[in-house]
Chain A
Amino acid sequence: MESTPPDDRIIALWRVESPRLIARLMRLVGDLDTAEELSQDVFAAAIEKWRREGVPDNPAAWLNTTAKFLAVDRIRRRDTQRGKYQLVAAAQPQTLEHDLDEIVDGDLADDLLGLIFMACHPLLSPDARSALTLKLVCGLSTEDVARAFLTPAPTIAQRVVRAKRTLAAAKVRFELPPPSERKARLDAVREVVYLVFNEGYSATSGDRWIRGDLCAEALRLGRMLAALTPNDTETLGLLALIEIQASRLRARVGPDGEPVLLNDQDRSRWDRLLIQRGLANLERIERLGGTAGPYALQAAIAACHARAAVAADTDWEQIAALYDGLARISPSPVVELNRGVATAMAFGPEAGLEIVRPLFDVPGMREYHLLYAVTGDLLCRSGAHEEAREHFLRAAAMTRNTPERTTMQGRAADCAAGHTIQL
């Protein structure tokens, strides 16, 4: 007696089985469009059969067999048609049965990694990569992806269709990139994972400050990637980083949905399991002798915060030193802004302002609301309250996130009160 009706179970099964199924089918038929279409056919067949006869004990096995059957059928028809086009009298299937067995039994890890590489292909825009990855690798529906990104479903559907068309037009075949290219391609994959995470961690628009569903998907992707490339220290660094950051999610929102900054957070609400996992991954990086890359360094910074039981215990000098390292290997205005904050915490607001002030001359930074928020904070702490207030008001006018705007307006109103900003 099954407690869950077939349709709910099939949604759950889609989530669990479809990434593997699509990856396998990609290896068989070669292109993303056909693989996805076939996997949908498999589930459609499952719904029809299982509604009538009930769900079998081992649905995964049934789905796999059906997928293989449909794929072989498709390949035969395609080969036959190709034969016709070539005006070959006796259409000879070009793919032999025993080849197929070999292909079907290939390494699942390679299949999944190949699927991830394809979804994060450099030919695609970051938006398209995220949508395709969530859909294919996480098994989310178009509607789920749309909800996650606060984007209308038809827009996401369009984005996915166009992405697949781009890949098909460029004749991108399903294969693992050669080892020489793999490192660069992994960078692109990690970027997608971090992008999805950040969109969840501090939503750039909308009326919610964090989107936990997106963070959860990013964590799932990060774990998957770390399982597929177990010795890659930057992937472990990325995973450690998002685990430690995610550990603060529930402490990061106040009772009315307003953002709670790091120093004001109730640290007893941090997720200890996630912190432990993050710290363990940092240890693994050390054991692997990984040179500290940008993600590992950011994870080490996050770990400094995680280790402090109360905000006053934070080792800001260590954090400032880690930011110095990060600014050397991966310089960017945003890293510089963070370095300014850490330096101010370690050595006083004046030291921080020295780093932050030049950023107003960097193209693009004048449009970045957090530059004004941070500068306002440092000014406030150094006693320049009126100048601080102006900066907070600028920041409030610039952000598209409603709770953040309210916070900035509040800071402007009481910038003499002496709260501190932490990114």
Chain B
Amino acid sequence: MRLVLAEDSTLLREGLTRLLADEDHEVLAAVGTADQLVEAVGRSRPDVVVTDVRMPPTHTDDGLRAALEIRRRWPDTGVLVLSQYVERRYAGRLLADRPEGVGYLLKDRVAQVDDFLDALDRVAAGGTALDPEVVRQVVAGSERQDPFGRLTPRERDVLHEMAQGHTNLAIAQRLHVSQSAVEKHVNAIFDKLDLAHTTGYSRRILAVLRYLGT
């Protein structure tokens, strides 16, 4: 795939560029500020953008704001945001209008190269990739709330995987169960969360959004 990277630490930027090149991806540009990112995307129109949240000029959430702008101006570009901390607010803002082609990962996750590349593939394919830590907080936090409280522990496991953006087949492999068992759990989850009559892929994420939106 064709990518644009934004990361202000030279060390990480170089590392990411090499890593992606090793995997036969094409890095069109690797920049250090949020403004350069938007400019580079406009110029080279990549498939996916990978950006840090904390970046110059203000070193607060410049990267996230650039990501939101990119999603608004070039809706078919996938965006994977890397964050120093889990910020529920950030994940919520990213997913707010459409959960397709977007990812939110803890920055440290990049070191788990397989997971990172997997998340990148999902975002490029128009899927969703949420950090397991974000999802863990969502699911853990949801226990207090109805209707999440009605989920069984197994259903919560499935929701955990599903919310990260995995397909039923991937979930079955990760949880070591059959695909039909996963399908059964997913239907139960949709029932309990009143999402049974919503159609389309996005309802898998709606469950998470419901929490992030609060």
Is A bound to B?
A: no
Measuring CB to CB, which residues of chain B are less than 8 angstroms from any residue of chain A? none
